[in-house]
Homo-oligomer: A and B are copies of this chain.
């Protein structure tokens, strides 16, 4: 029983699609955070569910860790092979298998990215709404319970996955859920797998709920004198019942990054980016209500646009924000952290964080899907100045503790991976032990992404 045996046996199974070439290993040892590269022992690229099952079975027999890999954009060291073993790269299982316009659902393999899916859907008048900032794989998005700018209207991966095919730790293949819109038929295995970060099973197929493209879309950008005024506008808008499709907050540092990346010239002030979906009349009505609330909070330089090109430029800049922010300090890396609190505590969570960042003197854009009470800080780390990493870690710790104190969670959407594990006991108490019991029941040998989310040894 050994990793070496497993690698040999998997090579026998899939030939050249098992690679140990240093460049391939390096590529699968990278991450978008500050963790040191951690290459796996080998990278396997399966082409079918049956291959995934056979590989997982071998790894079980050989006690070899197996770490699923989508686009590798997760931010808490999720997909790093800290214990070595085989990285299972699912990006060649990338077919859109079925689209059912009449049921507004689609069946896809895990290596399809969200942008690819939406390209394929364009002609149908439907779209898949969940949009993390990276063009991630749908398998990875389900595995991290991802969300994005539209969660406030359409929900997260939790609400938008109807069914899954999953390979379990012993190689069994199960189907969870069906194409029916709802069901009370037994335990919710679909939701158990969503957000399990490759620690309970490998997702080999997803049935996704689609949305109809709205008849009309209106977007706006508006600047506020203070962060407080922007947050108050968000809270009042939610309470007014206006169904926003997107509402993002950006602090002045974020605006600087967006200006760079999107070639825009927004004033370096706190901003909201908003979007409304609906019928012509509906979207206009929503926009007007919002306009009144924003004006009441001192909004300056309000700009509406129903023009698609302008809107695309806006959201493109928002989605590219992370990579743009790295340009604020060439050569730096980022530690991006993510918390979520009840809406009523958002002002407190966000303003105290901003104040701490200011005091510490770090460059750290604050940006958030604030309609859900969710926001991120992207601490820029200078590899030449190790103290910047230490300060960022200290502030991250403080943000996490604050989120818990305010009745929230240490991660709204990025997930636990390795980085948020230290907060799990404080967040879940005895519930964290229950997670370990479930992990133990489904993966007693701890071969699936060991060391992430929860430990069982």
Interface residue ranges, A against B (CB under 8 Å): 100-105, 144-147, 151, 155-156, 158-159, 168, 172-176, 178-189, 191-192, 194-196, 200, 212, 214-215, 235, 238-239, 241, 278-279, 281-282, 285, 340-344, 372-374, 403, 407-416, 420, 424, 427-435, 437-442, 453-454
Q: Whose C-beta in chain B lies nearest to the C-beta of A144?
A: B184
Contact A416 B192 (CB under 8 A): no
Contact B442 A437 (CB under 8 A): yes
How far is A455 from B25 in the complex, measured between Cα atoms in Å? 45
Contact A343 B102 (CB under 8 A): yes
Task: State whether A182 and B147 are in contact (beta carbons under 8 Å apart), knowing that A191-B191, A241-B215, A429-B175 are contacts in the complex.
Answer: yes
Residue in B155, B168, B192 whose beta carbon sits within 8 Å of that of A188 in the complex: B192
Q: Which chain B residues lie closer than 8 Å to A453 at the CB level?
A: 186-187
Contact B103 A343 (CB under 8 A): yes
Contact A432 B241 (CB under 8 A): no
Q: Which chain B residues lie closer than 8 Å to A186 at the CB level?
A: 195, 416, 424, 427-428, 431-432, 435, 453-454
A406 to chain B, nearest CB (A): 9
Which one of A101, A146, A431, A435 has the greatest number of beta carbons of chain B within 10 Å?
A431
Contact B187 A196 (CB under 8 A): yes
How far is A259 from B437 in the complex, measured between Cα atoms in Å? 53
Q: A105-B342, A158-B191, A178-B408 are in contact. List 20 more A-B contacts (CB 8 A).
A: A102-B343, A103-B343, A103-B344, A145-B183, A174-B434, A175-B431, A178-B407, A181-B374, A182-B340, A183-B411, A184-B409, A185-B411, A186-B195, A186-B427, A187-B435, A188-B191, A188-B195, A192-B192, A278-B282, A438-B441
Contact B146 A184 (CB under 8 A): yes
Q: Which chain B residues lie closer than 8 Å to A340 at the CB level?
A: 180-183
Which one of A183, A374, A428, A439 has the greatest number of beta carbons of chain B within 10 Å?
A183
How far is A246 from B441 in the complex, measured between Cα atoms in Å? 41
Residue in B103, B158, B241, B282 whose beta carbon sits within 8 Å of that of A285 in the complex: B282
How far is A373 from B162 in the complex, measured between Cα atoms in Å? 14
Q: Whose C-beta in chain B lies nearest to the C-beta of A183?
A: B409
A199 to chain B, nearest CB (A): 9
Contact A438 B407 (CB under 8 A): no
Contact A412 B102 (CB under 8 A): no
Q: Which chain B residues lie closer than 8 Å to A239 at the CB level?
A: 101-102, 104, 212
Contact B182 A413 (CB under 8 A): yes
Task: State whether A102 and B181 are in contact (beta carbons under 8 Å apart), knowing that A186-B432, A188-B158, A441-B440 are contacts in the complex.
Answer: no
Q: Which chain B residues lie closer than 8 Å to A344 at the CB level?
A: 100, 102-103
Contact A158 B182 (CB under 8 A): yes
Contact A180 B241 (CB under 8 A): no
Contact B180 A412 (CB under 8 A): yes
Q: Which chain B residues lie closer than 8 Å to A279 at the CB level?
A: 282, 285
Which one of A279, A372, A424 has the greatest number of beta carbons of chain B within 10 Å?
A279
Q: Whose C-beta in chain B lies nearest to the C-beta of A404?
A: B178
Listed by A's residue number, 6 A-B pairs whose Cβ atoms lie within 8 Å are: A102-B239, A175-B431, A179-B408, A180-B409, A182-B374, A183-B411
How far is A285 from B146 in the complex, measured between Cα atoms in Å? 34
Q: Which chain B residues lie closer than 8 Å to A415 at the CB level?
A: 184-185
How far is A192 from B415 in the complex, measured between Cα atoms in Å? 18
Task: State whether A192 and B191 are in contact (beta carbons under 8 Å apart), knowing that A279-B282, A373-B180, A431-B176 are contacts in the complex.
Answer: yes
Q: Which chain B residues lie closer than 8 Å to A282 at the CB level?
A: 278-279, 281-282, 285
A412 to chain B, nearest CB (A): 5
Contact B182 A156 (CB under 8 A): yes
Task: State whether A174 and B437 are in contact (beta carbons under 8 Å apart), knowing that A102-B235, A187-B196, A188-B191 are contacts in the complex.
Answer: no
A203 to chain B, nearest CB (A): 14
Q: Whose C-beta in chain B lies nearest to the C-beta of A453?
A: B186
Contact B411 A181 (CB under 8 A): no
How far is A186 from B142 in the complex, measured between Cα atoms in Å? 13
How far is A168 from B431 in the complex, measured between Cα atoms in Å? 10
How far is A343 from B246 in the complex, measured between Cα atoms in Å? 28
Q: Whose C-beta in chain B lies nearest to the C-beta of A407?
A: B179
Contact A184 B413 (CB under 8 A): yes
Contact B407 A185 (CB under 8 A): no
